[in-house]
Amino acid sequence: MRVIICEDERCFQEAICNAIEEWKEATNHQDVSCICFDSSEELLTSWEGGLSAELLFLDIQIPGELSGMALAKKIRQHDQTVSIVFVTNYADYVYEGYVVSALRYLKKPVLREDIFDCMEIAYRHFSLLSKDKISVLCRDRRLVLPFSDIIYVEIRSHYLYLTLQHSGEKPEVRARLRDFAAQLPQQLFCQCHRSYIVNLDHIRRYTRDSLTLSNRDTVPISQTFAAAFKKKYDWYYMGNKG
């Protein structure tokens, strides 16, 4: 898992790096690396050149540079899954953070425990999203799809329709929803309605009766599934054991 830190003040940059190293030692997750940037514009240039990561720590304001919020919005145009944490002295941007699905807002000086929480959640996402693919038989062909590419599954009549992240088409699979669900990672996918299963990583807005997903589609939540869905959602995004 790659972590990028964009922070112009060296003391805060080093504090985040040190906390991440402590977390790696404590958890023995040595497959984590860090890259640091002093400039948001240099990070954007590198990102547009092909750099990627699973977790970003972004300073909200770097004097004379693109703001962390503006940078996050540009990154979200191309990457809907990277976890974003804002490090800031300002509370004014919290509402804007919903637009880019910020994982956390950390107040400077950052606490070691807060970094540990962010790393636990981001590593959980990384581990689940890097799992194997699923092979599905459509009407006239077989497709192999990464789990991370499936935004949600909808059943209509006797067919399942898969909405994908990187394709405008919706492959049709003749199967029962519960049988298909059994083939998916149970910690990554959850049923929210009798007709829908969603990928938790693609949720962008969660209300009492609906979900807005990364492609801006909205799917319903029914009372029957609401309690179990909330428990799994809280675990995925906040680490709550329920």
Distance CA 69, CA 92 (A): 11
The pLDDT-based confidence of 242 (bands split at 50, 70, 90) is very low
Sheet of 203-206, strand order: 203-206, 210-213, 218-220
Spatial distance between the Cα atoms of 104 and 139, rounded to a whole number of angstroms = 43
- Strands 142-146, 133-137: pairing is antiparallel
> Encoding tokens for residue 71?
């940078």
21-79 residue pLDDT tens? 999 999 988 889 999 999 999 999 999 988 889 999 999 888 899 988 899 989 988 78
Distance CA 86, CA 94 (A): 9
Is pLDDT of 131 > 80? no
Bond prior to 63 in cis (omega within 30° of 0): no
Residue 132 phi, psi dihedral angles, 5° rounding = -65, 180
Verdict on whether the full-model pTM lies above 0.85? no
Lowest mean pLDDT, pick from 31-35, 98-102, 193-197, 231-235: 98-102
Parallel, antiparallel, or unpaired: how do β-strands 33-37 and 55-59 relate? unpaired
Minimum mean pLDDT range among 21-30, 102-111, 200-209: 102-111
HEC assignment per residue over 171-182: CEEECCHHHHHC
pLDDT number for residue 85? 93
Q: What is residue 92's predicted lDDT score, i.e. its pLDDT?
A: 59
pLDDT digits (tens, 9 = 90+) for 210-236: 999 999 999 999 999 999 999 999 998
Q: Which residue has the tokens 């060296």?
A: 10
Cα–Cα distances (Å) from 205 to 32, 91, 101, 102, 215, in that order, read 29, 20, 8, 11, 12
Asked whether residue 206 carries a pLDDT value surpassing 60, the answer given is: yes
Task: Pick 36 or 134 by higher pLDDT.
Answer: 36
- Residue 115 pLDDT: 95
| Average pLDDT for the chain | 88
- For CA atoms 228, 229, 232, 237, the dihedral sign is negative
DSSP code, position 184: S
Q: Which residue has the higher pLDDT, 130 or 113?
A: 113
**Percentage helix, strand, coil for the chain under 3-state DSSP, each rounded to 5:** 35, 30, 35
According to DSSP, the β-strands at 150-156 and 210-213 are unpaired
Element spanning 233, H or E: helix 223-238
On the 0-12 / 13-18 / 19+ scale of CB atoms within 10 A, 74 is middle
Which pLDDT band holds residue 140 (cuts at 50, 70, 90)? low
- The stretch 152-167 carries a mean pLDDT of 92
pLDDT category at 97 given cuts 50, 70, 90 is very low
Residue 230: predicted pLDDT: 94
